[in-house]
Amino acid sequence: MDFSTVLILCGFSFVAGFVDAIIGGGGLIQTPAILFSLPQYPIPTLIGTTKIPSLAGSLMGAFQYSRRVAVVGRFIGPMMVIAFAASWLGSWTLTRVPNSFMKPLALGILIGVFIYTLTKKDFGQVSHRVVTARQQRIRMWLMGAGIGFYDGFFGPGTGSFLVLGFITLIGFDFLKANAHAKLVNASTNLASALFFFYEGRILFIFALPMALANLSGAFFGARLAILKGNRFIRVFFLVLIAATILRFAWDLIK
């Protein structure tokens, strides 16, 4: 093992945890870093390795947000269970069905999300009740199933899609949406991590130090987001979505 490679991966993992804790999207930083740094390993093994630091970071983010933001406990628990099962199913499906068709679909959705968020200045700035408790429960559970499967099958942008769903479908502001998104994302990351562990596709010699780095980044990222509030998160959200669009577009045309 090259110690310098571990240090480089930990650096990228720290930044990924920091960004992901603010608005999601850490995988866009962490995954290319490990694919470039360890080309001698199979891609599924490298993807499986990133699930451990992603899980550590999402747990830290969930802990930080839940200490300061009220969580709808009676609905989020079942949603996490549904998302866990859906993510496992998505990971299993990935081993049998190619996911190449997902990238142009996700690109189109993200372009729409960017335009909508950019033009709607008050998007995610305040919480407002848009549905009944029963409708909220159903929508959260459907989100858990759909986005959980997406995370296991494809992955990039999962945190951002969760935040978007909590804002548009449930009526949360950015901070509250982030708090709930981190809990659900922790559940989907746990499912994927267990699946890849079962498949023997995790390099723990890299995964564990990366997990410590990601966790540390998530600590500072969540604290900054809570300190700066919704306007800061909205700007960060737009920057991340724009970066994701450029990344997907580049992958499609190269």
* Domain boundary assignment for the chain: 3-253
Residue 196 CA to residue 44 CA, distance in Å, equals 8
Listed residue (91, 210, 203, 214) closest to 158, CA to CA = 91
The pTM score is: 0.85
Q: Are 192 and 147 in contact (CB under 8 A)?
A: no
User: pLDDT truncated to tens, each residue of the chain (254 aa)?
Assistant: 678 999 999 999 999 999 999 988 888 888 888 988 998 998 888 888 999 999 999 999 999 998 888 887 888 999 999 999 999 998 888 778 776 776 787 778 778 878 877 887 666 566 666 678 889 899 999 999 999 998 888 777 788 889 889 988 988 988 889 999 999 999 999 999 999 999 898 999 999 999 999 999 999 999 999 999 888 888 888 888 888 888 778 878 87
The pair of structure tokens assigned to 152 is 């296991």
For the four alpha carbons of 106, 121, 177 and 208, in that order, the dihedral sign comes to: positive
Residue 126 CA to residue 235 CA, distance in Å, equals 15
The pair of structure tokens assigned to 7 is 């240090």
Phi, psi angle pair for 176, to nearest 5°? -65, -40
Greatest alpha-carbon span in the chain: 55
DSSP 200: T
